[in-house]
Structure 1
Amino acid sequence: MKTPLGTEPSSVGSTSRSDFGHLARLVRHEGLLDRRYRYYTAKISLILLAFALGCTAFVMLGDSWWQLALAGFFAVMSAQIAFLGHDAGHNQIFRTGRANDRIGYAFAGIVGISYGWWMGKHTQHHAGPNHEGNDPDIDIPLLAFTRGQTGNKSGFVRWTTKHQAALFFPLLLLEGLSLHWASIVAVWHGRMKNRRLEAALLLMHGGIYLSAVFVVLSPAVAIAFIAIHQGLWGVYMGCSFAPGHKGMPTYTDKDKLDFLRKQVLTSRNVRGGPWVDFTLGGLNYQIEHHLFPSMPRVNLRRAQPLVHRFCVDHGIDYAQCGLLTTYRHVLQHLHEVSAPLREPNFSRSR
């Protein structure tokens, strides 16, 4: 079933509907939900051109250790293409879901992940951001984002959780491989529609990628290239998505939050200029994105002051800080959550 990711639920109270409805009318009046075809035409063309030039340079450079620099370039390109897939999944590019899906499958195929698997996972995240038990983005076996999650850890997983603040960035080196593996498992078990298409895209990506690397490069250089490309891509993706919610309040079924407050109170914006917008793919406007998931990325900067002023007027906490500060908040939160595991008398039955 194709629905816009993170759409407002209908089962919210009349007061919350009135608050969000008022904000939505302000946003629509400013034209911030209108499609931006020229922007996306230029954005997609430039990114694909840069990717094509990188592929050309890869072939022309041949078997050289200088290829490891290109591996870093392709890590950036993989993330930028994944951001475009994210935009397509949210119906930001075209008006119809079918058109967005088509280009979303293409972008996912280029980076080697399952679009259908990601859509299901990300839709669940938008429906309940930072909701313990419902948000897959805070249900990561090697980490704990709430005190309640620490009691279920044992063995090696308990050790990684105990030291999760120190291990957070090193573990992101595995995020790229994790995305590939989760996609393969999901397709293998048929956890999405268009399974055959997804399988074909994953096989095509793997075949072209591995063939190109091992044909052009010697085995040692090829392995180093893959390690750097996949590792840096994972770090880039993790560093782009983590600031938006990690370290922000979490809640359970006992907490009753309307749509507006649920999205705002669990999200954090990252301050910065156009370079931050480009680097984080618009995810630095996490609050605006969660309130209006189908808003084109380029409009989020214009929506930010409007949403901020609305939240201030309605007494709703609106979190935003600089990029380095947000990583400090994330690490502090991870360190505090795992504190019980470092207590000498801690036991899992506690």
Structure 2
Amino acid sequence: MSKKNQQVIIPLISVVLGLLLGAVVMLIFGYDPLWGYEGLFQVAFGSMKNIGEIFRAMGPLILIGLGFSVASRAGFFNVGLAGQALAGWIAAGWFALANPNMARPLLILMTVLIAMLVGGLAGAIPGILRAYLGTSEVIVTIMMNYIILYAGNAIIQTAFPKAFMRSVDSTIQVSSNATYQTEWLSTMTNNSRMNIGIFFAIIAIAIIWFLLNKTIIGFEIRSVGLNPNASEYAGMSSKKTIILSMVISGALAGLGGVVEGLGTFENVFVQTSSLAIGFEGMAVSLLAANSPIGIFFAALLFAILSVGKTGMTAAGIPPELVSIVTASIIFFVASHYLIERYMASRKSVKGGK
């Protein structure tokens, strides 16, 4: 089987095995998995509002998944996506609150650019440290998550003007010119929170696919990811490529953060922990084997599970079991070498016959 086919089949097998393992867990705890999954999918697709919520959830997951994909193609494990997303959200939110009467197209553009710039700067820090000092990007990005989380909370509570604040921990909503929600999307999906972030995500998929597969920069990113020493010998600057890939990764995460912030919540508020979408975006990219196109479908699956899990409650099943299903899928994706080995052994057996 070709490598291209494996990139499609193995994630599909991982999803099926994850669903089966989730069903086994439900049976162990005395729940009917067929009833549970039926409730999940009925809620997810049972109304236009929930379908809109699926697309709403997909936007930030796609963007953050793409950010993880770019870093992974360069050979780096960017665990700091949650912090980079939060940095973009806070910075863009501040600008939106400070300029409520700016023309909507310009204000949307500015929030997008600010979020990408701040997210890119947050990604550049571990990139520079890795390129010039050889530090582990995993350790640095984990620490950066906490630095950005607590620094961001302090900025919201102490640096934001009082006119922006609704309470000590939360700002007022941004103006209608700044929100990513639109009347026509809301009307079409029965007042869901679906917003223009999904369109940003689809555009980003096309751009990142083209960047990685059809440009010199993409070739250098992939080359450094495969062998940085050989890339240096061939005349490529691995240091420049390392930093650039982390900047792009952080910029995409920052955009995912502002899509979540101004598209879903429409304000800025104190976070008690790192953004969940940062880690869910990583899982989306892992499931898609870092394929930009595959990330769309992986994000769709995660969004369906997120929106539909309330249907499991109606079936008497704790919605937390959806997290077990999600974790099971990620486990099988991470253990893809077992699936590959099984498929290879089957091929050798057939060849022997």
Q: Give me the TM-score of the superposition, normalised by structure 1.
A: 0.29
Relative contact order, higher structure (CA 8 A, sep 6+) = 2
| Higher percent of residues as helix | 2
Q: Give me the TM-score of the superposition, normalised by structure 2.
A: 0.29
